[in-house]
Structure 1
Amino acid sequence: MVNKDVWKYYLHLYEGYEFDWNYYLDNYPDLRENGILTQKDAITHWNNFGKSEGRNFN
């Protein structure tokens, strides 16, 4: 499990937000189709692309 401070830094979020990576992958099936299968992959995708695309993570 990733340290909560690392989550906040990496996702640029305020205290209290949790990245639900299963929700993220379940709601955007194109991600799994393109090889995004793990928690790390989901977080990396959201940080690099999903945030600017307006994708929700919970």
Structure 2
Amino acid sequence: MRVAVTGRPGIGKTTLCLKVYEALKSKMKISGFITMEERDKGVRVGFKLVDLASNRSSPL
């Protein structure tokens, strides 16, 4: 199964994905990635890409 989550900034897409991941990771193999904001003093300065399977991240 493949699922894509889309929507406007700030509506909770990443939060939803992380909650689903936490609920299902012990029941099945889950792979994919999320992008997390990088902030400095409250200002977005970039993003990092996080692999859900390995928890490795890389700046975008």
**Bucket of the pairwise TM-score, normalised by the shorter protein:** 0.3 to 0.5
So what's the TM-score if we normalise by structure 1?
A: 0.34
| TM-score between both structures, scaled by the size of structure 2 | 0.33
Max radius of gyration: which structure?
2
Structure that is richer in strand per residue: 2
Compare the two structures and name the one with the higher helix fraction: 1
- Structure with more relative contact order (C-alpha pairs < 8 Å, separation 6 or more): 1
